[in-house]
Amino acid sequence: NVVGATNLLGLAKRLKVPILQASTSEVYGDPEVSPQNEDYRGHVNPIGPRACYDEGKRAAETLFFDYHRQHKLDTKVVRIFNTYGPHLDKYDGRVVSNFILQALKNEPITIYGDGSQTRSFCYVDDLVEGLIKMMASSHSGPINLGNPSEITIKELAETIIQLTGSTSNIIHQALPDDDPKRRNPDITLAKKTLNWEPTTDLTAGLIKTIDYFKTKS
Ligand code: UDP
């Protein structure tokens, strides 16, 4: 994140082109406030197993704002919350792909921890529209892009079992270190500055994603 951001910021400066950082809700770490707005400075463990990602993205945001201030570069930072949809990698180990694949094979659904942790899932087409609007705007951010509709991981498992008509049962496995307890975007700023908000609800998005995985499994 840091070396790549430095290289690409240098390139954008030489070419005099706008550049967007696909940052992440991970910059908020395991947040103490919910929902998270852009002013929240985060709660990140700097030495945990997720830290290389969280801190790498945070340092990259710093570089983007330094280039903006120092070189007047047209930089944009968006903080992307959990996103899903067709073309997710089958083996990326993320929750939506894992649960759908397990459900389609009628294998146990692996919930890490008790499943009370929450995430807010944004359908990919909504997210892409937000990215395009951000790139076309004069705002440098940071701006949250995500779907504010929050769900527990247990509810997600039950929804996917129901939508696939699966006979899978739920099993519990160890919760990874530093797994954020809640994640929910405050998108007031994106609504106001980009006139953007997601329009695909979770059920509609999951049906499309399940259809995609049916052709892949
Ligand atoms: N998770 C789970 N079972 C899985 C994969 C993930 O219970 O098979 C949980 C994980 O512990 C986390 C949530 O689902 O609480 C989202 O995990 P993911 O890796 O998809 O995204 P992130 O943690 O980066 O939001």
pLDDT, one tens digit per residue, over 90-123 is 899 999 999 999 999 999 999 999 999 999 999 9
Angle of CA points 215, 209, 171, to nearest 5°? 95
User: Helix/strand/coil (H, E, C) string of 139-186?
Assistant: CCCCEEECCCCEEEHHHHHHHHHHHHCCCCCEEEECCCCCCCCCCCEC
Please check whether residue 22 is in contact with residue 80, taking contact to mean a CB–CB distance below 8 angstroms.
yes
Dist CA 1 CA 59 (whole Å): 8
For a ligand 1 pocket test, name from 119, 155, 202 the mutation site with the most ligand atoms within 8 angstroms of its C-beta: 119
Confidence of residue 216 (pLDDT cuts 50, 70, 90): confident
pLDDT, one tens digit per residue, over 50-92 is 999 999 999 999 999 999 999 999 999 999 999 999 999 989 9
Residue 118 in contact with ligand 1 by CB distance below 6 A: no
